[in-house]
Amino acid sequence: MNITLLGCGRWGSFIAWYLDKIGHNVTIWGLSDAPQFIEIRDTRKNNMLTFRESIKVTDNLEEAVSSADVMIISISAQAVRSFVPRVAALDIKGKKIVLCMKGIEVSTGKRLTEIVEEFVPEETPVAVWVGPGHPQDFSRGIPNCMVIDSRHAELKHELIREFSSELIRFYVGNDLIGTEIGAAAKNTIGIAAGMLDGLNLSSLKGALMSRGTREISRLIKAMGGNELSAYGLCHLGDYEATLFSKYSHNRRFGEMLVNGEKFDKLAEGVDTTKALVYLGQKYNVDLPICQTVYNVINGKTTAKNGLSDLFLRSIKTEF
C-alpha cells in the first residue's frame, strides 16, 4: 500500500518505520519548521529509530496526500479540528484515513473520528489504531497486541490484513465509542498512577487499575458503547504501558507534578482529563478518579489529599 504518515512525532515516526519495515511504500509528512521533522529529513534518524532511504520525507502536504492510498494521522488530539480541514481541502477521493492518537476534544467532548467526519466526504472511511506498546519497545523487537476499529467493517479487516506482523498482532474492534473513549481515558489513569509513584504509594496501583476500569466502563455504557470495551486492549490492556512504563509520558507527568517538577513533553491525558470531567457531567456519570486528577492538575486539592480520599478513606460497596 502507499501510505502517508501525517505527523512525525514519536508515534507517527514509529508507524512509518514499522510499515516500511513490513513492505509498504511510506511517506512521512511534517511541518517544515518542526524540530522532529528537520531531524528526520536531515539525518534519517531520531532518538529511537533509523529510517531507511525507501521512506520518502516531505513538508509538502498536497504531495504527501496525493501519493497515499491510506493517510495515517498522528498529531496532538487537540489539533485535529484545525488540521483535518487542510487535508479535506485536497483531493482525497478514494483514500482512507486512520487516526493513530488518543484523545477527546476538550471544548466539545467529541471523539476524534466524530471531528474528522465533520470535514471529510461521507464516502471517505475513517478508522482508529490504538492499544498498548511503546515505540522504544517495538523498535527493540518486543511484540504487542493492538486494535483497529471503524464503522466500516471492510476497512478494519483490510487494514489488519495489511498491517499485521510478528511484531504487532491486531484485533478487530467492534465498538468505536468504547475503543476511542477507553483509549483516551487510559492516559488520565496513567497520570493518577504517576501521582501514586511520586507519593511512594505505588502499591495502590492495583486498586487504581480495578476502579479506573470500572469507572471508564460506566462512562462508555452511558455514551452508548459496550462497557466491556474498557476491559479490552484499548483501555485495561494498555495499563502496563501507561501506568508502569518509564516511557509513559502521562505517568511521568503525574509523577513530576506531585514532585513540583515541570514536564516539557506532550501528555495528552491533561486535556483528556478536562474532556472526561465534561462528559461525566453531560452523561451524569460519577468519575471520581478523573475528577480527582482534574482537581490536582488545577490546584484544587493536593495529590496526597485527593488520592487518600479516593483510596484510603471512603467507605463504599465495591460493586
Catalytic residues: 186
CA distances from 138 to 10, 35, 99, 146, 264 (A): 12, 23, 19, 12, 24
DSSP state of 77: G
The whole-angstrom separation of Cα 282 and Cα 273 is 14
CB of 69 closer than 8 Å to CB of 1 = yes
The whole-angstrom separation of Cα 135 and Cα 232 is 20
Q: How many CB atoms lie within 10 A of CB 302?
A: 14
The whole-angstrom separation of Cα 113 and Cα 130 is 13
Pairing of strands 144-150, 126-130: antiparallel
The whole-angstrom separation of Cα 229 and Cα 126 is 19
DSSP string, 149-211: EES-HHHHHHHHHHH--SSEEEEE---HHHHHHHHHHHHHHHHHHHHHHHTT-GGGHHHHHHH
**Could you tell me the three cell numbers for 128?**
482508529
